[in-house]
Chain A
Amino acid sequence: MAKPKVATASLAGCFGCHMSILDIDERILKLAELVEFHKSPINDIKKFSERCLVGLIEGGCANDENVHVLQDFRKNCDVLISLGDCATMGGLPAMRNHVPLEECLAEAYLNGPTVHNPTKQIPNDPEIPLLLNKVYPLHEVVKIDLHLPGCPPPADAIWEVLVALLNNKPIDLKYGLLRYD
Chain B
Amino acid sequence: MRPQLPIERHTMAVLVDNEAGVLARVIGLFSGRGYNIESLTVAEVNHAEGLSRITVVTRGTPPVIEQIKAQLERLIPVHKVSDLTVEGPAVERELALVKVAATGDPRVESLRLADAFRARVLDTTTDSFTFEITGSSEKIDAFVELMKPLGLVDVSRTGVVAIKRGAGAM
Task: Indicate, yes or no, whether A interacts with B.
Answer: no
Question: Chain A: residues with CB nearer than 8 A to chain B?
Answer: none
Question: Chain B: residues with CB nearer than 8 A to chain A?
Answer: none
